Every structure is written in structure tokens, then in C-alpha cells.
Amino acid sequence: MEANELPKGCLITSSLFGTAVGLSVSYFLCHIDPAIEAGWLRGLWHGSNLIGNCILSIFDDRLLQAPLHTAAYTVFWWIFAICAVISTIWTILNLYGMFKMNR
């Protein structure tokens, strides 16, 4: 093992910790209230937490997008939702590559 490589256990721990933090943020800070009209800032927030809300929607009746929103909400929701999905796929592929390379 080279000096700049991390052991597999550290990678697994950091991935699990990051997942736990992301789900906690989505659970406690990103509840979508259907009665409030959502603007661009909520679109940014809801879109960036899309993955966490998708996972949590399996276990409860969580919304993925606010039903009452502005056009700016939709634009920002899509931009940040796409970025969230791309970064999640990028992270999974990088972790898979690191595990495969370390075998």
C-alpha cells in the first residue's frame, strides 16, 4: 500500500458516514410542505437533496417535489437534481473502481 492510499475499511466507513449524514439532512431539514408555495431557493435545496428524499420516500409518504411552486423552483430543482444524480453516480463508480483496484 502506497502512502497516499486509504485502506478499504476507511473507504467503507467514510462512505457509510457520508450516507448517514446525507439521509439525516434530508430527514430533518428537507421536509417538503405541500401547503407552502416554494420559490427558487427551496428548488435548489429540494433538488440537491433528491437522492436522500428518494431513499426516505420508500419508508414514509415523503414528497420529491413541492406541488405548489414557481417556475424558478422547477428550473433550480431540475438543475440541482441532475447534479445530485450525477455526483451520486460518480461517487459510486469511484468507490467501485477503488475497491476493484485494491483487490
Q: What is the pLDDT of residues 7-26, one digit of tens each?
A: 556 666 666 777 788 778 87
What per-residue confidence (pLDDT) applies to 10?
64
Confidence at 78, pLDDT banded by 50, 70, 90: very high
Prediction pTM value = 0.74
Mean pLDDT of the chain: 81
- CA gap 66, 2 in Å, rounded: 48
Rg (CA), the chain: 17
What per-residue confidence (pLDDT) applies to 59?
85
